[in-house]
Amino acid sequence: MKFSDNIECSDPSTNKVLSYIPESSSKQDDASTTPSSLEQAIAAAKGAYPSWSSTPVQTRQRLLLEYAHFLHKKEVREEIAYWITLENGKTMADAMGDVWRGLEVVEAATRVGNDMMGDSLQNLSSGLDTISYRVPLGVCAGIAPFNFPGELIERKH
């Protein structure tokens, strides 16, 4: 690994280097560069889209419920909060609040199943009925700000 092509990720309270993050680069031939990794992730997401978009809403909802159940485990919440404190310099209490707010967003997302079914209105106007469908749009990306990583990344659903 060439550390000159990486950015240090340090604990703000001690300046101790925790890890190295690949620096964004335009080099397309290096598999460890950020653009190449991003392109691989996009290709994988595009490949998964046909089967995911045909997955029933209840099945997608069940996966979110399982994710929420996983996040409810004390050791999982504590580990996420631990990494937030290291990478962002937050206190453990503040990081745990961030994790809880993220969990609340996931729980709220589990309740949107009926909203995703679409709507139909008969006789909206003389001889006019309307039907709306809610369908997965495809590949998207979200960037969470450094100060609320546990909460705001969950809002990218």
100-151 pLDDT tens trace: 998 998 898 888 777 777 788 888 888 899 988 877 777 777 776 666 666 6
Which residue stretches of 72-118 are H helix?
A: 74-88, 92-110
Which residue stretches of the chain are H helix?
A: 34-53, 57-71, 74-88, 92-110, 149-152
Summary mean pLDDT of the chain: 80
On whether the CB atoms of residues 120 and 130 are closer than 8 A, the answer is yes
On whether the CB atoms of residues 103 and 72 are closer than 8 A, the answer is yes
> Rounded mean pLDDT of 41-45?
88
For residue 78, pLDDT over 90 is answered with: yes
Retrieve residue 40's tokens. 């691989």
Question: What pLDDT score was predicted for residue 155?
Answer: 59
Q: How far apart, in whole angstroms, are the C-alpha atoms of residue 154 and residue 127? A: 43
What pairs with residue 19 in β-bridges?
A: 9
Alpha carbon separation from 154 to 60, 64, 90, 107, 111 (Å, rounded) = 15, 11, 19, 10, 14
On whether the CB atoms of residues 91 and 85 are closer than 8 A, the answer is yes
Residues 7-41 have pLDDT tens digits of 888 888 788 888 887 776 555 555 555 667 778 88
On whether the CB atoms of residues 28 and 104 are closer than 8 A, the answer is no
For residue 73, pLDDT over 60 is answered with: yes
AA identity, residue 3: F
Question: What pLDDT score was predicted for residue 3?
Answer: 40
On whether the CB atoms of residues 54 and 45 are closer than 8 A, the answer is no
Per DSSP, 2 falls in state -
